[in-house]
Every structure is written in structure tokens, then in C-alpha cells.
Structure 1
Amino acid sequence: MKLLSATLSALLAVALPAPAQTILPDATMEAPPMGTQAGLDAWVHTFRPRALAAGIPAATFDATMRDVAFNPKVIERDRNQNEFTKTIWDYLDTAVSEDRIALGRKALAANSALLDRIEDTYGVDKEIVTAVWGLESAYGTFRGDLPVIGSLATLAYDGRRAAFFEAELIAALKIIDGGHVTDFRGSWAGASGHTQFMPTSWENFAVDFDGDGKRNLWSDDPADALASTAAYLRHWGWQKGALWGLEVRLPDGFDYNQTTEAIRKPVADWAALGVQPMSGGSLPDYGPASILLPGGSRGAAFLIFSNFQVIEKYNTADAYVIGIGHLADRLKGGPAIAASWPRDLRALTLPERRELQERLGAAGFDPGGVDGRMGPKTIAAVKAFQTVRGLVPDGYPSLDILTRLR
């Protein structure tokens, strides 16, 4: 059959006229403006050799990328991710809403046998797996409706994280070339399936848990997706039965310079400083821990353990990690966060966050760059500024701090 196919192909090649060659812009032509369909088309042309060198067959690349569309809304979402732009309390109001908790308990009950097998196989608590499922796709009810290839191509072309999204796009093309998915849709960032795996995560961690010979994260059956999530978390060191963190009460006169993920102490040391569980009793010991104040000194305080850093591998935003951890706790029957939040404060806008970083740098407090993301270096810079000004050094990037820097 292969010989016959080759013979027919040769005859057709002789009988049919050669297809017209696509005329592509040369180096002397003016480059199309950024952020346009023409710009994306030109980028696809330059990306093609890299994709083929990475093992993508030319036929797969050409068929998949021929009509890829530039999506400006993807760029907008990339610049304004909820985990980084909302206040922690606004984020948690949605992430750990009473509806999401109730639906999560139903999902646990409906999939109890499956989730028990996954927990036994991978050593990852079923409530954490379910919490990821709940936050990423509302327990499978909304897995994303954007073309994954278009989103990844748009982001790679945009250039802010070009190398990262090019690697994801190549992995996505491999998924298509292998016939693993037909309707490849997902979120604005190219994540897809029940637990919103990026393509490289599928490549490295997806498992065939139902034994059908496919690592299918996209079907209505969530078995492979939930097991793949457990495999992912196990790879990064999840400790079954250990806490991700817990809400604590800080004593009067506590040194807020110690409230950073960069400072880790034995639990006994924190207890000696007067740190207590908000729910009472003594602090549980799951290894060295840090104190985190995601809403500043007026909000809740958390003692966080190594499982916190494992969840960070899914998404680095503190709000996301706390959302996953707290949702899992609520699914287990745990209490709501007891401390109040400073709801009179508003989140800084993206221009304000960039201005804050610029002004911190100009004042001699290195924020680690000007990207609008309030990461560890920016928080440390805010703490340093607060210390110099005689303020509580909680690191919270509020409008008051920006105003003082102006």
C-alpha cells in the first residue's frame, strides 16, 4: 500500500500544475506594525523553521498555522490577570465562594471512587486536586472557548514572554500532530482541559489513568485530567496530609519585617515569638515555615509550609495559592478565614503599579524591574521604604505608599 501511495503521489505531481508560491516580504520591505494580523502572519513565517527544527512536520505546521488569528483580547488578559490585579479579598470572594464550595463537595461525592484511587496512587490529597479542578474550570463546566493555537501564537508574537510561549506552541503542535485532541480550545493563555494544563505540562506530566491508551485531558471524563494534576503536584514534592498553610494570629509588637516568604523558621521559633493558630491550640509542625500577609497588616496572616510552594508551581500568584489551599480546606469542612480584610482599600491599577515600581527605584529601593507585577522584590522594596518612613513594614503596595513616594 505504501508503494501504491507513493506511485499515485508521483503521478499526481506530474499531472497537476505546481502550486503558486507564496510571496513573502523580504528584508527590504517595511515590517508590518506590531499588534496586527499582518504582523502575526509575518511572525508565523519566521517561526516556521524553528518549529520544523523542533520536530513539527511541515504538513502539520502549515495546516494548523495557515489561518491562525491574532487576538488582541489575549494580550489584554495577559496584562491584567485577576490573581495579580485584584485585591486578595476580592479574589477570594469569587475563588472560594459559597457556591464553589457547595459544588466542590458535590464533585467530591460524585467522583469519590475516582478521587480516592488518584489519592492512593499519587499521594496527593483529593481535596487539593478537586480545588484545582474547581478553580481552573468550575469542576469541568467551563474549560475555555478560545483556540489554543491562536492564543499561544498571539502571545509568542507579542514578545513579552516570547521564548516561553514559543515552547508552549511547539508542544501544542505536537499534541495536534499526535492526534490527541480534535477541538483544541482553552483559556486565553493556552491552558486547556479540566485542570487547565499548559501544553508542556501535558507533555511532561499527563497520564493515561483510565487505560484507554490516550492522555486525554479534554473529554467529559475527568479521570486523566485529575490524575495528571496529582502527578504534577507529586512531582513538585507534595506532602500528603500536610497543610499548605493556616491562618494565624500575630502578637502585639510583632516584627513585620519577618512577614515574607523569604524568611523560613522552625515552627517552634514562630511559636516562641507568640504566633498562634487563629482557631486556637498549638501550631502544627510540617517543617520550616514562613509568615505571609497578602492583605497587609490589617488583613489575615498565614503560616505557610512547603506545600504552598508546590501549589505555586501551578500559578505563582499568592492569591491563587491561597485560593486553592483555602478552597481545599473548606471542602474538608474547615472554617472560613476569620480575620477581616481592609476592604476600604482598592487595588492599584496597572499604570499605578508601574509608577510605584519606578518611584521605588528612583528613591533607592530596587523593585526588581518595572512590569506592574507586585512580586517578592517589589514587596521587599515597599518594606524597605516603610521601614525608613517609620511605617509598619508589611510590604503591602497600597495607594498610600504610592502617594508618599510622589
Structure 2
Amino acid sequence: MAKTTAGRFSSFLRATGVAIALAAAAQATPAFADAQFQRWVGQFRATATSNGVSGAIFDRAFAGVTSPDPEVLELARNQPEFNAPVWQYFDNQITDESVGNGRRMAQQHRRTLDAVEQRFGVDRNIVLAIWSIESRYGEALNNPRIVRNIVRSLSTLAYADRRRQKFARSQLIAALKILQNGDVDVSHLTGSWAGAMGHTQFIPTSYQTWAVDMDGNGKRDIWNSVPDALGSAANLLRQNGWRPGHAWGYEVVLPQGRKFPAGRMTLAQWQAIGVVRANGQAYPRANDQAELKVLEGRDGPAFLVLHNFNMLKRYNNSDRYALAVGLLADQIAGHGQLSRDWNRPFTRLSFNETQELQKRLSAHGYYDGEIDGRIGPASREAIKALQGRMGMSPDGHPSKELLTRLRGQ
């Protein structure tokens, strides 16, 4: 897996007030707290050297790391995307911007994508969709509010987060070995609070296993080399069993008034009981095994997913994630939107309208975050506050109805 915990940069775009307060409190904490952390660092040094990390590399990596990062612990405790409605997740991942930028990146990096497809057999649009979801085509790597010192982040989790302690220790040792190998120096070993790194967000152990030197400069640099990052993502999929030339799945229409079997059947068997493609076309490989996915039940979109869908889950073990990659890839390729949309309790805004809503929230003094067209916790809290002032139900939804009322003021 590219990561085994929620390390995607998109999960950072949230309200940071509590984390900032924690950071301020940490500065006023008595010195013994840092001393305890330093004792832990000293003990972990012995663990790292016994696992093949040189003492010199360890000392260089931990130079200046004198205390745990309180924001990392706050982010680890609060990951609302896991409980978000289905429509909210997809609305933030598949936008006019992500599709348009994907098509521009396809042109800009055409030669790299040609080479990636030839070497690994992974469709370029799948690779572009992963790049979008993981780091917004690299945009997130330039955000100082997001990018962190990997050594400090992972040592914080290994020191203070019992749930992630084992994971963080193994990733920290792997990160130190990346430094030792010379692919990146200490100042550029950066990533998310959970240790995911570079354009395509590999945790250190995934980097060790699947990262490739696609540009031929002798280093596997997923932070600065787009070819290395995209090639590494494709290599992960191919090494885990990606089938070149095969689809990830199809949107389907379900016949009314019948139940459906659990598990996998051939596409021919699904068609025999009335489950057909939403675009009316035939299934290209009728004998391929497929499983039905309905994230919102019968009233929402339905999909028959194939072997390559499960390969996307090797990157991130989530049905939502794999569907988002597949659907975004399809739209970048020009296949159009879903025939049956997600069920929202409001009228959805376009990407430009969402940016306009954020600007209007900011003008009213309710929002001071990025005007990025993505509705995260900070935007939702601002919407709730404004809805309350306007006498509307404070549901936090970025609705056409709210924007219309704001335009009338």
C-alpha cells in the first residue's frame, strides 16, 4: 500500500485552530516534557542502529528535533473524512478543476506518461487521477501549512500515539534508510503528518519497495521528479497485479424489484439478471469476474467493479478512494460524468461557484482559509455560522440556495 493510514494531503485542509492552540500550549510546557521525548529518541537510536541505520545518519536526521509535534497528534485524533457523507468525499475529489488540470497535465507530461504506460501497462488517466487525489498534481507540496518534517512527524506518532506506534516506528526506520541511501537529503525528507511523501504520497516502506528512478538520474526522487513519482505509482499497481488494458469497473443500472447476490460473478451472469452498463454499451470481456458496489444503496450510483479496482485498493484500502480514482480517470479521459449522481440534500455548486461561496464567506468575516473550491471543516463551520445568522438550518452544506441568498444581499 502507498499508505496504511490517512496520510493524504487532502486530509490536512481543515480548521487548524485547536492544533495551533496546542502548539502554543506546548511552547509553555515545562522542560521535562521535552526531556522525556529526548530520552525516547536516545532509546530509539539503539533500535535504529540495530536495524541497519548508521549512527551518523540518525544524528543528522534528528538534529533540531527536540520535541514532539502537537499538531500531528491533533490531526491523528481528528479525521472527519472517514465519517463524511459519500457525496462530500466525491465532491471534493472530482471537480471541474481536478478534471481540467488532469487534462492539462496529460499534455504537459505526455512523454513521461507514454513511457509509464509502455513500461508498466497502467493507463495514464489512472496515474493522473492518483496524482490529483494525493497532492493536487503536486500543488500541495508547496503549502507550508501541510508539508512537515517526516522524522519529527513519525517520531511524534511513535512516541505518543499508541494506536500508530508500531506503524510509526517501522516507517521511521524506513525513512532513515531512505536518507542513508542518498535519494534525498534531510531538508527534503518531507511529507504529511502520517508520513506520506511526495507527489504520489508513498509512506517510507512503500517507497523502499516500489519507488523507481524513471528519469534516469540515479535517484528515486518522488518529491521533485514528476517522472519518478508517476512511475512509482504505476509500478506499485503493476507489481501488485494490475492488468494492462483492463478497466477498473463500470457504472451500471439495476433492474427494479429484485435482490442481488453477494460476491463475484462474471459480467455475463450480471447481465443475465438485468445489470447492464449505464451507457448502454456491451461489456468488453463478458467472462471477467465483477462485484457490485452501491455506496448509497439502490438509490445512488451503482458499479460493477473488476480486478483492477482491487489493485487501486492496494494503493489505499478504501472503496471510496478506488472509486474516486476510477471515476476521475474516466472524466479526465473524456468519458463524461455519472448518469446517476450521488444523493445530496441540496443543489450542488460548480467548482467556480464553490470558490465564490468561499469568497463571500470571507467577505462576511466567517472564513479565513484558502479559496480552493473544496469544502473542508473550516468552510463547513463558516457556512453553519452564516446560515445561523441568516435564519437558515445550520447544516453546513455548500448549497446553491445559500449562494443565491448571499448574492441577493
Give TM-score scaled by structure 2 length: 0.71
Matched, 1:233 2:230: no
Q: How does 1:380-391 map to 2 (within 5 A)?
A: none
Query: CA separation in 2, counterparts of 1:95 and 1:80?
Result: 20
2:43 matched residue in structure 1: 46
AA of the residue aligned to 2:92: T
1:155 matched residue in structure 2: 157
Q: Which runs of 5+ in 2 are unaligned?
A: 1-28, 347-409
AA of the residue aligned to 2:326: G
- Give the conservation status (yes or no) of the 8 Å contact 1:277–1:283: yes
- Among 144, 147, 151, which residue is 1:145 paired with? 147
Query: CA separation in 2, counterparts of 1:43 and 1:50?
Result: 11
> Tell me, what secondary structure is at the counterpart of 1:333?
coil
User: Aligned pair in 2 of structure 1 residues 192, 80: CA closer, same or farther (>3 Å)?
Assistant: same
1:251 matched residue in structure 2: 255
1:283 matched residue in structure 2: 283
AA of the residue aligned to 1:181: V
Matched, 1:184 2:207: no
AA of the residue aligned to 1:145: V
In the TM superposition, what is the alpha-carbon distance from 1:294 to its structure 2 partner? 1.4
Query: CA separation in 1, counterparts of 2:299 and 2:77?
Result: 28
> Tell me, what secondary structure is at the counterpart of 1:265?
strand
Deviations 1:121-151 (A, max 9, x none): 1111111111111111111222251111111
Q: How does 1:163-174 map to 2 (within 5 A)?
A: 163-174=166-177
> Tell me, what secondary structure is at the counterpart of 1:142?
helix
2:223 matched residue in structure 1: 218
Matched, 1:194 2:199: yes
User: Aligned pair in 2 of structure 1 residues 62, 265: CA closer, same or farther (>3 Å)?
Assistant: same
- Among 214, 229, 251, which residue is 1:209 paired with? 214
1:55 matched residue in structure 2: 52
- Give the conservation status (yes or no) of the 8 Å contact 1:127–1:331: yes
Query: CA separation in 2, counterparts of 1:341 and 1:327?
Result: 15
Greater radius of gyration (CA): 1
Query: CA separation in 2, counterparts of 1:87 and 1:276?
Result: 27
AA of the residue aligned to 2:113: L
Q: Which runs of 5+ in 1 are unaligned?
A: 1-31, 346-406
1:134 matched residue in structure 2: 132
Query: CA separation in 1, counterparts of 2:291 and 2:87?
Result: 20
Deviations 1:19-63 (A, max 9, x none): xxxxxxxxxxxxx99xx6555434323322221111111122123
Query: CA separation in 2, counterparts of 1:282 and 1:79?
Result: 46
AA of the residue aligned to 2:86: I
Query: CA separation in 2, counterparts of 1:134 and 1:119?
Result: 18
1:354 matched residue in structure 2: none
In the TM superposition, what is the alpha-carbon distance from 1:173 to its structure 2 partner? 0.6
Query: CA separation in 2, counterparts of 1:56 and 1:320?
Result: 34
> Tell me, what secondary structure is at the counterpart of 1:160?
helix
- Give the conservation status (yes or no) of the 8 Å contact 1:75–1:155: yes
Query: CA separation in 1, counterparts of 2:316 and 2:80?
Result: 12
- Among 96, 105, 110, which residue is 2:108 paired with? 110
1:266 matched residue in structure 2: 266
Identity %: 41
User: Aligned pair in 2 of structure 1 residues 117, 274: CA closer, same or farther (>3 Å)?
Assistant: same
Matched, 1:297 2:301: no
Query: CA separation in 1, counterparts of 2:197 and 2:179?
Result: 13
In the TM superposition, what is the alpha-carbon distance from 1:165 to its structure 2 partner? 1.8
- Give the conservation status (yes or no) of the 8 Å contact 1:82–1:91: no
- Greater than 4 Å deviation, 4+ residue runs: 36-39
- Give the conservation status (yes or no) of the 8 Å contact 1:130–1:328: yes
**Relative contact order, CA 8 A, sep 6+: which one is greater?**
2
In the TM superposition, what is the alpha-carbon distance from 1:256 to its structure 2 partner? 5.2
Query: CA separation in 2, counterparts of 1:240 and 1:80?
Result: 38
In the TM superposition, what is the alpha-carbon distance from 1:224 to its structure 2 partner? 1.0
